[in-house]
A and B are shown apart, each in its own frame.
Chain A
Amino acid sequence: MGLLKKLFRRPAAVQELPSGSLTVDRNGNTITSTISSAYPPQLLREIARDVLRLFSDARDAQMPMAEISIHFASLRITARELRGGAIIFLFPQTAMLQTPT
């Protein structure tokens, strides 16, 4: 039993950080993308949805924004407003590849 477990153990799911850019329309549908197709599309849709929500909430708060950047320890998401949609850049903040803040 122990041997079978060792043989058929599923590899741990480690998600590589997305890198590249995507353009989404005002409904969050992806128009173009340079992000690896191996990256889960569902997560990209969630990123697009959240970014559009941030822009729309900012408009409601009377401070419309042209660009929003979210800085995590290992990833930077920069989004520019594009006629109701957005162009979103994803920069992994790795020790190998540092992007300007």
Chain B
Amino acid sequence: MEYQPKILILDDEADWLEMCREMLAQLPSQPEIRTASTGAHAVAQLDAERFRLLICDLKMPRIDGLQVLAIVRRRFPDLRTVVLTALEDEEFRSRAYALGVDLFWLKSDMQQNMKMFLDCLESLLGRDMADGFRGIQNKSLMDIIQMECLSRNSTLLRLTRGPLVAKIWIQDGELIDAEVQGAHGEAAFRKILFWKSGTFENLPAEPNRERAINKSVNALLLESAQSMDEAGEQQTEIIEKTAHRKTVWRISLLTREGAEFVVAIPPEGEPEAWGTHAVEQQAKWTRRAMEIARQLSERLEAGPLSHLAGTSTERNVLALTRDNKQFLVGWPADKTDGQLLEKTKKLVASWDS
């Protein structure tokens, strides 16, 4: 018997739902399409039947899309999720990806790039219909680039590492251009390959992008791997100097950013700290506070924890997790909450550089 995938569309606008229904009927896999106009209705349908894909709006009254996605992620881990929204805000994109969505698409882009959007949906439906694995956890950036190039894909890879954003343009499996922190072309590509961790997303290809990289991707990857190896060998030779430099770097980072102290707490082992003597007490509070917040998030279905901030007359503190490490950063009392988050993210992203 031929399998017919089911798609659920959640949006509070009836006209939009009808338009989406007609549009998705064009998909080659001929999916069965259901609609819901509220988060509660959508979750009820997901509970009752097995769906392959949920297309979800963000801006809805009462229970909005982000909350629905937080619930879906926990209750239906195998369900593919797509956010389709009119909100052109990078913060919502990050928050949606943090909730594990497969694709974030703007409604305005969908109207302009209808075919590409349908291709993405078909691909999401198809990936589950065939046997295979989902996710690319623990893959290095080199693996991701090689996969894209070997599959002869055309895409714009957008990579994020804390506040840093990099872009790599791939057209028909060929590396076209790269961009990071003001650098372009090969120089940017080499710089990006030194990133050890981060997140990535596939954005629509830009076929008109002017070619700035002429070397083959394999040659560039090989050269970069060699230079990383060489750097690694040199590092073992000057390990003591490196440790010293790291300390100097961290202290200068603290001074430059204007932070009072930093406590870095690994999942296991002793915490590291600069600018404070109460390391044990502060590390203990951070661990406990983050655990309390994690449990609270589960009970309230409020989505993942972004950060925790505390204010006193003497200083502000901000706690967050990055790469499995918890950080507690102390700031002078005159800094505002909005500034603190950005500054803390920046400091923490550069901490282990």
Chain A residues within CB distance 8 Å of chain B: 9, 11-12, 14-18, 43, 46-47, 50, 53-54, 57-58, 60-75, 77, 92-96, 100-101
Q: How far does the alpha carbon of A101 sit from the alpha carbon of B61 in the complex, in Å? A: 21
Whether the pair B92, A62 counts as a contact (CB closer than 8 A) is no
Max count, chain A CB within 10 A of own CB: residue among B61, B297, B310: B310
Q: How far does the alpha carbon of A69 sit from the alpha carbon of B337 in the complex, in Å? A: 10
Number of chain B residues close to chain A: CB under 8 A: 58
- CB-CB nearest in chain A for B61: A96
In the A-B complex, list the 7 residue pairs whose CB atoms are closest, starting with the nearest.
A73-B303, A75-B302, A72-B302, A61-B285, A94-B64, A95-B59, A61-B281
Task: Report the minimum CB–CB distance from B67 to chain A (whole Å).
Answer: 5
Is B144's CB within 8 Å of the partner chain A? no
Chain A residue numbers with a CB within 8 Å of B289 are 54, 57-58
Task: Report the minimum CB–CB distance from A28 to chain B (whole Å).
Answer: 14
For the A-B complex, the count of residue pairs with Cβ-Cβ distances under 8 Å equals: 140
Interface residues of B in 204-221 (CB under 8 A from A): none
Whether the pair A61, B303 counts as a contact (CB closer than 8 A) is no
- CB-CB nearest in chain B for A67: B311
Task: Report the minimum CB–CB distance from A77 to chain B (whole Å).
Answer: 8
Is B123's CB within 8 Å of the partner chain A? no
Whether the pair B71, A101 counts as a contact (CB closer than 8 A) is no
Q: How far does the alpha carbon of A64 sit from the alpha carbon of B317 in the complex, in Å? A: 11
Whether the pair A74, B61 counts as a contact (CB closer than 8 A) is no
Is B272's CB within 8 Å of the partner chain A? no
Whether the pair B285, A66 counts as a contact (CB closer than 8 A) is no
- CB-CB nearest in chain A for B43: A12
Whether the pair A47, B308 counts as a contact (CB closer than 8 A) is no
Q: Which of A11, A53, A58, A65 contacts B40 (CB 8 A)?
A: A11
Q: Mark B326-352, 1 if CB is under 8 A from A, else 0.
A: 000000000001100100000000000
Chain A residue numbers with a CB within 8 Å of B299 are 43, 46
Whether the pair B312, A63 counts as a contact (CB closer than 8 A) is yes
Q: How far does the alpha carbon of A94 sit from the alpha carbon of B281 in the complex, in Å? A: 35
Whether the pair A16, B62 counts as a contact (CB closer than 8 A) is yes
Is B282's CB within 8 Å of the partner chain A? yes
Q: A70-B296, A73-B98, A95-B85 known; A16 and B306 CB under 8 Å?
A: no
Chain B residue numbers with a CB within 8 Å of A73 are 66, 70, 95, 98-99, 302-304, 306
Chain B residue numbers with a CB within 8 Å of A18 are 300
Q: A14-B39, A62-B278, A63-B310 known; A71 and B317 CB under 8 Å?
A: no
Whether the pair B43, A74 counts as a contact (CB closer than 8 A) is no
Interface residues of B in 266-321 (CB under 8 A from A): 278, 281-282, 284-285, 288-289, 292-293, 295-297, 299-313, 315, 317
Task: Report the minimum CB–CB distance from B320 to chain A (whole Å).
Answer: 9
Q: A71-B305, A73-B99 known; A58 and B285 CB under 8 Å?
A: yes
Whether the pair A53, B292 counts as a contact (CB closer than 8 A) is yes
Is B65's CB within 8 Å of the partner chain A? yes
Whether the pair A61, B338 counts as a contact (CB closer than 8 A) is no
Whether the pair B43, A95 counts as a contact (CB closer than 8 A) is no
Is B243's CB within 8 Å of the partner chain A? no
Q: How far does the alpha carbon of A43 sit from the alpha carbon of B298 in the complex, in Å? A: 11
Max count, chain B CB within 10 A of own CB: residue among A63, A64, A67, A96: A63
- CB-CB nearest in chain A for B86: A95
Whether the pair A72, B281 counts as a contact (CB closer than 8 A) is no
- CB-CB nearest in chain A for B45: A12
Task: Report the minimum CB–CB distance from B347 to chain A (whole Å).
Answer: 17
Q: Which of B65, B66, B296 contacts A50 (CB 8 A)?
A: B296
Chain B residue numbers with a CB within 8 Å of A47 are 296, 300
Whether the pair A72, B303 counts as a contact (CB closer than 8 A) is yes
Chain B residue numbers with a CB within 8 Å of A58 are 285, 289, 310
Q: A69-B308, A74-B303 known; A57 and B285 CB under 8 Å?
A: yes
Whether the pair B309, A15 counts as a contact (CB closer than 8 A) is no
Chain A residue numbers with a CB within 8 Å of B47 are 12
Chain B residue numbers with a CB within 8 Å of A17 are 63, 67, 300-302
Max count, chain A CB within 10 A of own CB: residue among B85, B284, B292, B317: B292
Whether the pair A75, B300 counts as a contact (CB closer than 8 A) is yes
Q: How far does the alpha carbon of A11 sit from the alpha carbon of B95 in the complex, in Å? A: 28
Is B44's CB within 8 Å of the partner chain A? yes
